[in-house]
Amino acid sequence: MEGEVAKVCPESYAMKGGEGPHSCAQNSASQRSSIEAAKNFLQSAIASKFDLRTICASSTNPICIADLGCSTGPNTFIAVQNVIEAIQIQCPSQQNHNQATPEILVFFNDQVSNDFNTLFQKLPPNRNYFAVGLPGSFYGRLFPRQSLHVVHSSAALSWLSELPKELTDTSSGACNKGKIFYTNAPKEVFDAYERRFKMDLEAFLQARAQELVDNGILACLILVADDLIDFSVDMYAGKDYELLGSCLMDMAKLGLISEEKVDTFNIPTFFPHVKDLMKIFEANKDFSIEQSELIDNKGFLAPNIESHVSRLRAVLEVLIEKHFGDGIVDELFDRFTEKVRAYPEVLDALKFKFHVLFVVLKRKVVIKA
């Protein structure tokens, strides 16, 4: 029981809290449709892969579910409800009728800077589960060992634990001067992002392997890039980040912000190629891949430019204010709206080169010595 069990992530990102027009809560429609699209996959995966009777030896122990990267809702509540419904379906058939039905405890996790107050106020009042909030980075241990039965995470694994140091090191080939993302950047920039993503995902899997019970389920929705995309030249999802970067450079040229601030700003997200992502899962010794599906991303796309900009703002506003200070966000996103209007094909690029991977992993049984 000695030592630290709570590791703090060096950098912490969280979506915009509260319920204002630029809050995550008001801009989560795109994720929701992907959660809806995953509902059938998720429920059939739990029905076939999650054996309630084997996993919950005792009905006095609650079934523990975690949603990692929950933000402030409401998507996390929908996802959790989907998991619970899938488990409940098993109850009449698998449950020993002499025992009490197991109760459910749900852990809602996000960064310490997440707005948990808003999350808690919006918890469904008639929920059939006990609910707690758990602050901290999911790239480290968050839960006691072998305490979770099902872990769910939607779109949160795109966020790196921290930015690769090389991006702001002027002596490095990966220095990303004048840009804020890896598209159309030197290959070294992409490689630095990719290395960080791989290390983070491995750390994520290592932590979850300790926290999940034997045969426990890890279901993730991950934003991925089509395998055909060459990031150094191709139009892509990240293209809109490029446009946003060019708006920042325009503002730097006008003296509204310093160019050095733009040089040291990079968006800490990464969208892996499908095949590279699957290689990481395949190489992992603690989990078996039970299912992987590319989900239609139609519902993921904003219906128009304004709503696309608003969603991106909800995701990036806190990060931008933290780096550049208050007072630039309104102008930045006004300029960005103009640029997207001038290049509306950015939205098409998102449509065709961008997918959502739904993957279900199962914790292998630990052989005890």
Residues lying near its own copies in the complex (CB under 8 A) are found at 1-6, 8, 60-62, 84, 88, 91, 100-105, 107, 112-113, 115-117, 120-121, 123, 125-135, 141-147
Instruction: List CB contacts of 304: < 8 A, sequence separation 6 or more.
Output: none
Radius of gyration of the chain measured on its C-alpha atoms: 21
Helix extents (H) in 145-283:
187-211, 239-253, 259-263, 274-283
Residue 132's Cβ-side half-sphere holds a number of Cα atoms within 13 Å equal to 10
| Burial of 327 per CB tally in 10 Å (0-12, 13-18, 19+) | exposed
Tokens of 109: 């996790």
- Minimal distance, residue 103 CB to its own copies, in Å: 4
Query: Would you give the end-to-end CA distance of the chain in angstroms?
Result: 21
- Minimal distance, residue 128 CB to its own copies, in Å: 6
- Minimal distance, residue 115 CB to its own copies, in Å: 6
Nearest to its own copies of 123, 280 (CB atom) = 123
Nearest to its own copies of 130, 352 (CB atom) = 130
- Minimal distance, residue 105 CB to its own copies, in Å: 5
Instruction: List CB contacts of 147: < 8 A, sequence separation 6 or more.
Output: 64, 211, 213
Report how far residue 46's alpha carbon sits from residue 53's, in angstroms, rounded to the nearest whole number. 13
DSSP string across 162-186: S--GGGG-TTSTT--TT-SSSTTS-
Give yes or no for a contact between 41 and 87, defined as CB atoms under 8 angstroms apart. no
Nearest to its own copies of 8, 283 (CB atom) = 8
Nearest to its own copies of 120, 343 (CB atom) = 120
- Minimal distance, residue 202 CB to its own copies, in Å: 22
- Minimal distance, residue 112 CB to its own copies, in Å: 5
- Minimal distance, residue 56 CB to its own copies, in Å: 12
Report how far residue 51's alpha carbon sits from residue 56's, in angstroms, rounded to the nearest whole number. 8
Nearest to its own copies of 127, 273 (CB atom) = 127
